[in-house]
Amino acid sequence: MEYVRRHGRQIRVLETHAGIESCRYQDPLTIARDQHALQTPVGRVWQFNSPQEVYALVDATVDFLSRSLLWEAGTLHSLEWSLYELLDNVFQHSQAPAGFFMFQVQAERRRLSFAVADQGIGILESLRGSKYMPSSALDAITLAVQRGVTRNNETNMGNGLWGATEIAARSLGQITVSSSGSAIFFKRERGDAITVPRVGVLDAAWPGTIIDAQIDASVSVDVATMFGTLDAPVNLRLENLEDDAGALVVDVKQMRIGAGTRATGESARLHLANLLKASERQLVVDLSGVGIVSSSFADECFGKLHKQLGPEGFNARVAFRGVNDAVNVVIRNAIAQRSAA
């Protein structure tokens, strides 16, 4: 739509319904205008206009995912890496002025779906000048998802698309790469790939690229094994939380989710549980500046986490900091009640 409008045409949607309109496909959100929506970026179409915006969007997405799904070790970190790569590819290769991104979560199935799209030159055109000389769009896609294949060996590694398909495969998910008027649907765990030689495009000169993937959070993806002898990407998200003693510090106030309801308690618990799975380190929950927490928040977050880990597990891995007397009473009561239940 953005492409058609940019070329001076108008679009009118004749029949629609509120459910589909709420994802804002007709008027995508932007980082500049809709900063407030980054707290809950799910279920909306985002337009990103620069590499800086890629950073803000992926950061907000991974924060949100850490609060809304339980991720087995390594999977969220690999996904984060892969999202940066896929969104950045739009500026590296597509020649389109902007890209589009959307994700959805299916909490019961612990699944994430996301799509990254641009209306750029497509993978075939991008690889045309390279040593690979693909003869068709399907050829180009097949090449691009291989490790080390890039249009430019000097500036790029050729890991982005390979990594994304690899993560989808390792997490028993799936991924479709649609570009230059063809598409391949990869289901690598079964070794399957379905090819679609002809997909309709608006303008053959700007056929674009769409990556559409499903990732299963209940399967662990070991980044180190995936990268083999290469250096695995460092988990900056975890490193940023480390204090001088090497513990991971979660500042509840900074999470800006509030500490009043069951829903926010569940978000906070998922986030803590994800950190415990992703790292062996001790977790310090910093409640400085939090005047009071509700009993339902405390039960949902700390009561349930305590129950899941057991008293020894909890005490060995989770510590509190900056807790005032009122908050302390609420948390201790919630833990005691949940353990007795």
Ligand X SMILES: Nc1ncnc2c1ncn2[C@@H]1O[C@H](COP(=O)(O)OP(=O)(O)OP(=O)(O)O)[C@@H](O)[C@H]1O
Rg of the chain over all Cα atoms, to the nearest angstrom:
22
Is 158 one of the binding residues for ligand X (CB under 6 A)? Answer: yes
Q: Which is nearer to ligand X, 183 or 323 (CB)?
A: 183
Contacting residues for 89 by C-beta, under 8 A, at least 6 apart: 116, 160, 161, 209
Q: Which of 123, 221, 305, 327 is in the footprint of ligand X by CB under 6 A?
A: 123
Site for ligand X in 160-219 (CB under 6 A): 160-162, 209
Tell me the C-alpha distance between 141 and 138, whole Å.
5
The β-bridge relationship of strands 46-48 and 182-187 is: unpaired
Compose the 300-329 pattern: x for residues touching ligand X by CB under 6 A, - for all others. Answer: ------------------------------
Q: Which is nearer to ligand X, 43 or 129 (CB)?
A: 129
Helix/strand/coil (H/E/C) assignment for every residue in 235-291: CHHHHCCECCCCCEEEEHHHHCCCCCCHHHHHHHHHHHHHHHHHCCCCEEEECCCCC
Number of helices and strands in the chain (H, E): 14, 11
309 contact choice in Mg ion, ligand X, none (CB below 5 to 8 Å, kind-dependent): none
Is 80 one of the binding residues for ligand X (CB under 6 A)? Answer: no
Q: Which of 61, 78, 94, 296 is in the footprint of ligand X by CB under 6 A?
A: 94
Tell me the C-alpha distance between 148 and 151, whole Å.
10
Compose the 60-99 pattern: x for residues touching Mg ion by CB under 5 A, - for all others. Answer: -------------------------x---x----------
Phi, psi (degrees; rounded to nearest 5) at 331: -70, -45
| Tokens, residue 94 | 């597509």
Task: Report the DSSP beta bridge partners of residue 250.
Answer: 285
CA distance from start to end of the chain: 54
Q: Which of 42, 70, 115, 157 is in the footprint of ligand X by CB under 6 A?
A: 157
94 contact choice in Mg ion, ligand X, none (CB below 5 to 8 Å, kind-dependent): ligand X
209 contact choice in ligand X, Mg ion, none (CB below 5 to 8 Å, kind-dependent): ligand X
Is 127 one of the binding residues for ligand X (CB under 6 A)? Answer: yes
Q: Which is nearer to ligand X, 95 or 113 (CB)?
A: 95
Q: Which of 28, 122, 134, 160 is in the footprint of Mg ion by CB under 5 A?
A: 160
| Footprint of Mg ion (CB under 5 A) | 85, 89, 160
| Footprint of ligand X (CB under 6 A) | 85, 89-90, 92-94, 118, 120-123, 126-127, 144, 149-151, 156-162, 209
